[in-house]
Amino acid sequence: MNKKLARISLMMIVAGLAILVAPAVFAQDGGAATGALGKLGGPIGAGLAVIGAGLGVGRIGGSATEAMARQPEMAGQISTAMLITAAMVEAAALFAVVVGLLASL
């Protein structure tokens, strides 16, 4: 029950931040957002991407460790799959950070 409550709380925080930043982001003046809040959306998005990637890689590592503890003979294959998956998560996070920071320029 605590995990479900934590997920709901996180979704509400993200939705609240989106509602806070949305008016400035969608305000158009020659195609660019005006004001300080318009520049705030990119760094917030980049920060959320980093937080999500950190949680994802942590979960991948924890699950892989548990799997290796249960089946030590498969440790090599589990490690390989874990590293590939973690690299994919990090690549997606890096892309999200770059896009988020470019949005604030």
Which of 44, 38, 35 has its CA nearest to residue 22?
A: 38
Place of tokens 């294959």: 77
Segments forming the whole domain that contains residue 83: 2-103
pLDDT computed for residue 30 by the predictor: 52
Q: How many separate domains does the chain show?
A: 1
Mean residue pLDDT across the chain? 81
* Residues in the chain, pLDDT under 70: 1, 19-38
Which CATH number belongs to the domain containing residue 54 in this structure?
A: 1.20.20.10
Residues in Cβ contact with 80 at an 8 Å cutoff, skipping those fewer than 6 apart: none
pLDDT computed for residue 3 by the predictor: 79
| Rounded-to-integer distance, Cα 2 and Cα 30, Å | 46
